[in-house]
Structure 1
Amino acid sequence: MSTERRALIAKKACIRCSTQKRRCDKAIPDCGLCTRLRQTCKYEPSSGPTPSPSPRPEIFLGSVAFTPSHLKDAIIQKFGPITPEDTFSAYCRAIEPWFPIISIPRLRSRLPLAWDEVSLDIALLCLSIILLTTTPRSSPENDNDRSEFKSLYCHTKNWISSTETLGLNSFQIVQSRILVTLFEVAHGLYPAAYISIGATTRAADALAVHPGADASSSHTTDDETKRQDSILTWCGILILDRYIAVDSGPHPSLTRSRSQTLHDLLKSTLCLTNLHHQNRTNPICRLARLFEASSLLDKIHTTLNSPTAEHAFNMEELILTFQTLINLQTILNEEIGDGIHLYAGGLSLCNTFGFVDGAILLASENGSKLPLIAGVAENCNFIATESLISVLSTITSTVEPFTLGTQSIDFNFLPPFVTFLVYKAAAILTERLFMDSDSNEGLRKLRILRNFLRIVGERWLGCERYLKLLNEDTTPRILKAIEQG
């Protein structure tokens, strides 16, 4: 399937293609032909028991008090021809492979056959799934082309706020918040993502459910299901919170002050040793890798931006964390085997954290804030120096086939976290070129990384933000050399 096609497929051809007897790829919200011709694409409403009631005007005007029923009607109206089964398929295909925060059996059991039977929180969760799996228009220079894409985002954010106004909260609403925050991260919507993760964390707190409740205390299937929901939900929050904190600057992650408490609660379930002999396709097992990598990232971020008074301890902590990252990376490489490393979310994060740590120490950007201590600083710089060039080459060689067209990107399996890894690699190469270090080979690698960001920008708009940041830090001389390549 072309990377420009949408994650959801309509059951019938659009009205334009049907009338003109043209072949329609039935992509939602717009088919490929209408997108290329820049024409309005419309589908006939789905037949069968899936009504789409008109939204109540008071929901949008705010002149009359509205109820959960009114809010649900407005959300259902936004689905158009999309069915509950379409939404379930979209999650299984384009989110669950790399960020499995929703239990598939749980989602399946809660989804009805028709929208008029759905609950408000499930309707909101489905809309968040559709939002995250929708591909933006491919014309960044024409803001009108993305108006519908932005409109879906604004409506979803507005309706999440409306549930808060109505005093409603549930696991499904918190999961909706997580997916919307992930959408903001993936499409470079800052400071929105930084603000949203705070509201999401508070919404999870308000549920007053401990994520690591002992499984032995679960007496019913429903209790165990709720426990798994809690684990998946809190893992998603912690992973995003830590990632957003690093991407946003030196400020600490929101959950840092209680990370140890939450980590201890989740440890029995997410311990890598306990999971070693389990089915690695299990969502909790896969999410555990991301959780562990994000935990290591948080340690590095803390040490660099909030060091203790003991400088020797800070250096030793960096070395220990870096070595742990290398060990985790080795485990992940063994698990992936002959698979495509680009699609391994945990590996991408692990590489990112080890890469950033090594690069920072090598360039003495943050490492220089700590006084040099004989034996400790030298060892730290040695580890960083040994890994930096190797990691740069690995990242470049991993993405190069996709820039050459020898491999096509399956965006259903591509975590948006990969884009930050590629951006950091490009940023460090840019800095090395500024110092005229290994210019020819560095230019070649930088072109590959920047081209990859442009390609992935068709799916995750956060790449456009990273390219702008790279351009701001690139001299006219280097930009000219990149363009001439």
Structure 2
Amino acid sequence: MPSMPAFEKEMRQEKAALLIMHQNRMCVYDERSTYSDAVPSDSTQISDPRIDFSAKIRNEFPSVYFLDSVLFQRSGTQMPDAASDLATSLSGLVGDISANREFVSLYFEFVHPWLPFLSKRRFLERVLNPLGAKQIGNMLLISTMKLVAEDIVDDNTISPLYSSVKLALLRLEMSGNLEFRTLQAWIMISLYELGHGIYPAAYLTIGSCVRYARALGIHLSIENSFGSSMHDELDSEERRRSWWAILLLDGFVHLGCPAALEVNLPPTSDSILPIDDSVWEQGEQELSRAQLYRLTSPLTATMGRFCLTAQAGILLGRVFQHVNDTVNTDEFRHQEATVLDNTISALTQVSREEGRHRGIGVCSPTTICFSARLLLHDEERWQRSGSRENRIGLSPSRDIVDEIIGNMLRLARALASCGKCGAEQISPFCLETMYRSGMIFAQRFASEGDEEAYESFKILKLGMEATSRRWKAGNLLKARDLTGIL
């Protein structure tokens, strides 16, 4: 047999060496290869703190929590503290919290007033506390707060911090994390996605909030006025407010497609509403003396902003149910629509009075009521089969619509004149009403040739463009104008 050529022998030896190396090495996957469309190419921003998915993920969650809840409670089993290494990764992206807390101040000044589901006292004492900040739930909450509070740089909503938070939430799910601060981070990231128009992520994330909260039993907090032995009154109120925030976001995300509303168990007539915001901020001693309101309580301007916002969210949900009703008779739907319209109108008046009483220029419950009422009087958005005639049976609604779009026109004019300083105080809940108002003016111009309506449309577009510096979803009316789709 002839001898093997020297070069062929060398090639075989090299292949054997490579095979040995392959069998003894660990494969490391860089998440940038999978998420190349979402993560910026500037690797210097994320090379060190990025989440390493090559690490082993272990799920030590006690499955008995779901399989036999009674056994879980009686056995004294504890929830695991999962994925603590993620906290260090997120910390590298957030920066030195002890030296730079400007985003915390921004959050509590501009976001907290219209969605106050975080206890400021508990956040400062327990979450920002250096002894607890490296816990993964706390670090996630801090990271998402930074996302929501700060302006977007270079129009990049899919930033390294956002991408890392989403990956961290996925990994926590895989490792069996179920913890209240993580839930609040879920709420915060869904608010970020909603405000910046990141879909379908916003829709899916809010759905995850609902299931995550139910798994923790947070939905029960609005039915029980007594705190558990594990939570004091301040913690119980924070849990209650977190559930109301989820319900509010879950309703609002369906405004653009009301026919796609999922069927969730609605609050009962005895459900407990959030207490007055100013009382809640004062601490636990004041909480024990606070007046408790339920859904059946008469409307007053002293209920507090978030209490009224929660009720506006409930009415919006009832409008969704009404427009999707294919069972009841026309007579019943006529009566129901009239009651809904009157109730929304009453809440609007109380909300505006509350805003004047507390010096609030733009009140979230007012704009949510506007959105609900516009939907109630806009049959084209109902997406139902059959004749459109007499679906509601209400009297002509032009006067009602004119009142709403007139209010939003004044708001848009103020935003366009003062720019970013006014937009910082605007919540995403205002954007939908502004958008619908702009569309109504544009459609009137297209159908009636009303030049004044066109000028009003342009003012609303400028107002929304001012809000887009804070919330990117504000660009929607501009997109309508560019496409010419009315």
- TM-score bin (small chain): 0.7 to 0.9
Instruction: For 2:476, give the aligned amino acid.
Output: R
Deviations 1:25-66 (A, max 9, x none): xxxxxxxxxxxxxxx9x99xxxxxxxxx964x7x42425448
The normalised TM-score by structure 1 is 0.74
2:259–2:383 Cα contact (<8 Å) kept: no
1:418 to 413, 430, 433: 430
Structure 1 CA distance for aligned equivalents of residues 166 and 340 of structure 2: 37
Q: Does 1:390 align with 2:403?
A: yes
Cα drift, residue 390 of structure 1: 2.3
Are the equivalent residues in 1 in contact too, given 2:315–2:344 (CA < 8 A)? yes
1:62 aligns with 2:62: no
Q: 1:78 to 1:413 in 2, by over 3 A?
A: same
Query: What residue number does 1:300 align with?
Result: 319
Q: Specify which of 219, 222, 231 is matched with residue 212 of structure 1.
A: 222
Post-superposition shift, 1:82? Answer: 3.6
User: Does the Cα contact within 8 Å between 2:271 and 2:294 map onto a contact in 1?
Assistant: no
Q: 1:328-339 residue pairs with structure 2 within 5 A?
A: 328-337=347-356
**CA offsets per residue over residues 311-340 of structure 1, 9 Å max, x none?**
221122112111111111111121122777
CA 1:370 to 1:173, structure 2 compared with 1: closer, same or farther past 3 Å? farther
Alignment of 1:337-356 (within 5 A): 337=356, 343-356=362-375
- Assess if the C-alpha contact under 8 Å between 1:169 and 1:207 holds in 2: yes
Kindly indicate whether the alpha-carbon contact (under 8 Å) linking 1:185 and 1:193 is maintained by their aligned counterparts in 2.
Answer: yes
Higher relative contact order (CA 8 A, sep 6+): 1
The 2-side partners of 1:402 and 1:163 are apart by 40
Q: Is the CA contact 1:54–1:73 (under 8 Å) kept in the aligned structure 2?
A: no
| Alignment partner of 1:79 is 2:85 | no
CA drift of 1:471 comes to 3.6
Mapped partners of 1:237, 1:72: distance in 2: 25
**What is the distance in 1 between the residues matched to 2:229 and 2:55?**
47
Contact conserved, 1:400 with 1:448, CA < 8 A, in 2?
Answer: yes
CA distance in structure 1 between the aligned counterparts of 2:482 and 2:301, rounded to whole angstroms = 46
In the alignment, is the contact (CA less than 8 A) between 1:111 and 1:122 conserved in 2?
yes
Q: Is the 8 A contact 2:206 2:246 kept in 1?
A: yes
Identify, as 1 or 2, the structure richer in helix. 1
CA contact (8 A) 2:409 2:459 kept: yes
Shift of 1:457: 0.9
- Deviating more after overlay: 115-124 vs 288-297: 115-124
Q: In 2, are the aligned partners of 1:307 and 1:314 still within 8 Å (CA)?
A: no
Quote the Cα distance in structure 2 between the aligned partners of 1:156 and 1:420. Answer: 27
The equivalent residue for 1:290 is 309
Q: Distance in 2 between matches of 1:340 and 1:217?
A: 33
Distance 1:109 1:116 in 2: 9
1:266 aligns to 2:276 (yes or no): no
Alignment check: 8 A CA contact 1:308 1:314 kept: no
In 2 relative to 1, CA 289–443 (structure 1 residues): closer, same or farther, beyond 3 Å?
same
Aligned-partner SS, 1:381: coil
Corresponding letter in the other structure for 1:327 = A
Question: In the alignment, what sits opposite 2:191?
Answer: 182
Listed one character per residue, the Cα deviations across residues 70-107 of structure 1 (whole Å, up to 9, x for unaligned) are 11111111112343854542331232111101111221
Instruction: Summarize the Cα distance change of 1:456–1:98 in structure 2 as closer, same or farther, 3 Å threshold.
Output: same
AA partner of residue 454 (structure 1): E
Q: Distance in 1 between matches of 2:48 and 2:473?
A: 34
For 2:395, which of 352, 359, 381 is the aligned residue?
381
Helix, strand or coil for the counterpart of 1:266?
Answer: coil
Counterpart among 148, 152, 164 of residue 173 in structure 2: 164
Whole-angstrom CA distance in 1 between matches of 2:385 and 2:405 = 22
Aligned to 1:447: 458
Equivalent position of 1:37 in the other structure: none
Query: Does 1:320 pair with 2:339?
Result: yes
* Alignment deviations for residues 166-195 of structure 1 (CA, whole Å, 9 cap, x no partner): 211212111111111111110011111111
Cα-Cα RMSD: 3.2
- C-alpha distance in structure 2 between counterparts of 1:148 and 1:177, whole Å: 17
Shifted more, 302-311 versus 182-191: the winner is 302-311
* Distance apart, 1:216 and its partner CA: 4.2
Aligned counterpart, 2:145:
129
- Structure 1 equivalent of residue 15 of structure 2: none
Shift of 1:373: 5.5
Is it true that 1:110 corresponds to 2:126 in the alignment?
yes
1:124/1:173 contact within 8 Å kept = yes
User: Equivalents in 2 of 1:149, 1:128: separation in Å?
Assistant: 13
User: Aligned equivalents of 2:369 and 2:451: distance in 1?
Assistant: 28
SS in 2 for 1:68: coil
Shift of 1:272: 7.5
Structure 2 CA distance for aligned equivalents of residues 424 and 341 of structure 1: 23
Relative to structure 1, the CA distance from residue 443 to residue 340 in structure 2 (aligned partners, 3 Å threshold; closer, same or farther) is farther
Gaps (5+ residues) in structure 1?
A: 1-39, 44-52, 138-144, 476-485
**Contact 1:75 1:123 (C-alpha < 8 Å) held by counterparts:** yes
* 2:24 aligned residue: none
Tell me which amino acid in the other structure corresponds to 2:123.
L
**2:423/2:470 contact within 8 Å kept:** yes
Match of 1:430 in 2: 442
Number of aligned residues: 400
How far is 1:412 from its partner? 3.8
Q: Which residue of 1 aligns with 2:16?
A: none
Q: 1:353 to 1:176 in 2, by over 3 A?
A: same
Percent identical: 19
Contact 2:316-2:372 within 8 A present in 1 as well: yes
**Is the 8 Å Cα contact of residues 426 and 467 (structure 2) preserved in structure 1?**
no
Give the TM-score of the pair, scaled to structure 2.
0.74
1:430–1:366 Cα change, 3 Å: farther
In 2: Cα distance, 1:301 partner to 1:112 partner: 39
Alignment deviations for residues 394-439 of structure 1 (CA, whole Å, 9 cap, x no partner): 221232132234x7633442111111111011112222222125x1
In 2, are the aligned partners of 1:271 and 1:288 still within 8 Å (CA)? no
Counterpart of 1:259 in structure 2: which amino acid? P
- Which structure 2 residues correspond to residues 362-377 of structure 1 after superposition, within 5 A? 372=389, 377=393
User: CA, structure 1 residues 373+166, in 2 after alignment: closer, same or farther (shift >3 Å)?
Assistant: closer
SS at match of 2:222: coil
Tell me the residue number matched to 1:13.
none
Retained in 1: the 8 A contact 2:299–2:350? no
Q: Which amino acid aligns with 1:389?
A: D
The one-letter code matched in structure 1 to 2:408 is I
2-structure distance, mates of 1:181, 1:409? 24
Q: Give the greater-gyration-radius structure (CA).
A: 2
**Aligned equivalents of 1:440, 1:338: Cα separation in 2:** 37
